[in-house]
């Protein structure tokens, strides 16, 4: 059977600490059709983060220049830092038939949904705000003031849930991963992006 595919844009969003990064890492490991969109950010690099792998860590001036040149598919100020998705790499991945995974905040996700109507939008929910608080503390990447800020923003972000096509509660990690993986598998089979050709005699 001959078949061709058009790549898809998958937007994964939700409050900080809900498990987006953990789930995306696993998806990328298990599914070679997926490519991660490396965002630009002006926030400081955390221990263990690699420039060009986790983020493109750039200065405020570099960010301003990219903004002025209209290089971002979307950009937003999130918890006091600036983040943006570069448009060209996203389009290059889609053109070669692969799928792009965006791990971005809800402000950016809504902008992508508006600009790219054919994207797949998935919101990852925590089982409770208390679980979210515990996860942010356990991750140990942000100071208590920053954690408070992220938790305060979480409720407003969850309010935007109905703008997304899919919702996945990340309570049990394995179950959440399976749900996410099933959504992606089904979306791959849409006739708008999957073109099988039945061979003749």
Binding flag, residue 98, ligand ADP (CB under 6 A): no
- Least gap, CB of 196 to ligand 5GP (angstroms): 34
Tokens at 187, concatenated: 């979306």
Question: How many angstroms separate the CA atoms of 40 and 114, rounded?
Answer: 21
Q: Whose CA is closest to 18, among 123, 111, 107?
A: 123
Pattern 50-89, ligand ADP, x by CB under 6 A: ----------------------------------------
Query: Which residue's Cβ lies closest to ligand 5GP?
Result: 108
Pattern 154-183, ligand 5GP, x by CB under 6 A: ------------------------------
Instruction: List the Cα angle 76/131/57 in 5-degree steps.
Output: 30
- Least gap, CB of 42 to ligand 5GP (angstroms): 10
Contact 59, 98 (CB under 8 A): no
* Contacted entry of ligand ADP, ligand 5GP, none for residue 42, CB cut-off 5 to 8 Å set by kind: none
Handedness of CA 182, 188, 192, 197 (dihedral sign): negative
Question: How many angstroms separate the CA atoms of 139 and 91, rounded?
Answer: 32
Pattern 72-111, ligand 5GP, x by CB under 6 A: --x-x-xx---xxx-----------------xxx-xx---
Site for ligand ADP in 161-200 (CB under 6 A): 170, 173
Which residues are within 8 A (CB) of 59 and not within 5 positions of it... i.e. 6 or more apart? 42
Smaller CB separation from ligand ADP, 21 or 89 = 21
């Amino acid at each position: 059977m001959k078949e061709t595919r058009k790549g898809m844009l998958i937007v994964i969003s939700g409050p900080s600490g809900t498990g987006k990064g953990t789930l995306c890492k696993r998806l990328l490991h298990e599914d070679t059709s997926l490519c991660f969109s490396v965002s630009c950010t002006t926030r400081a690099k955390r221990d263990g983060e690699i420039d060009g792998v986790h983020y493109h860590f750039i200065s405020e001036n570099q960010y301003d220049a990219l903004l002025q040149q209209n290089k971002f598919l979307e950009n937003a100020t999130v918890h006091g830092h600036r983040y943006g998705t570069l448009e060209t790499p996203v389009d290059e991945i889609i053109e070669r038939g692969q799928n792009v995974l965006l791990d971005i905040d809800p402000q950016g996700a809504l902008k992508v949904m508006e600009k790219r109507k054919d994207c797949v939008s998935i919101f990852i929910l925590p089982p409770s705000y208390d679980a979210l608080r515990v996860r942010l503390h356990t991750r140990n990447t942000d100071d208590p003031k920053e954690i408070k800020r992220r938790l305060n923003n979480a409720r407003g972000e969850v309010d935007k849930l109905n703008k997304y096509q899919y919702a996945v509660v990340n309570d049990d990690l394995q179950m959440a991963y399976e749900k996410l993986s099933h959504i992606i598998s089904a979306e791959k089979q849409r006739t708008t992006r999957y073109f099988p050709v039945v061979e003749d005699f």
